[in-house]
Amino acid sequence: MNTFDFDQRLEEIQIAVADIFDSPKRPALSLIDEGETIVIQLSWVVDSHRDTTLDARCAATLRFSRAQLDRYAEMDTARRLMIQQRIRERVRERFEARQTPPATEGACSIEIDVDDSEFETPEGPL
């Protein structure tokens, strides 16, 4: 059995999602550990102003089960990178599907309950 640092694996996913969208200011990330559910929220600026209180932000909330993240944490690097890319694609797809009208005028947040299938990888060596 591989040993791993669970917090380090969570940070990998946070880093992977942090730069999905272009933002004139640094994206904000938060993590909520609810025991069996882990929530990662990404927030980024889509319209920046001198006064940051006037900035228009969008947000993506991702909900993972602890079992999913335990499974992810035990994977080798190549498989974890595959999962990270898959999660990035799902977030971008879901967000872009909701963006009519553009983010600064319409709904600008999404929530994703990450499905177990996102953590499936091909058998054997990659």
Strands 56-65 and 37-47: antiparallel
| Residue 88, helix vs strand vs coil | helix
CA distances from 52 to 43, 46, 107, 111, 126 (A): 14, 12, 20, 24, 45
| Six-digit token string for 25 | 């200011």
Q: Does an H or E element contain 62, and which? A: strand 56-65
d(CA 31, CA 28): 10
Each of the 126 residues of the chain gets a pLDDT tens digit; together they read 345 688 899 999 999 999 999 888 889 999 999 999 999 999 998 878 777 767 788 899 999 999 999 999 999 999 999 999 999 999 999 998 876 655 555 568 899 999 999 999 888 776
Q: What is the pTM of this model?
A: 0.84
pLDDT at 75: 92
- Phi, psi (deg, nearest 5) at residue 116: -55, -30
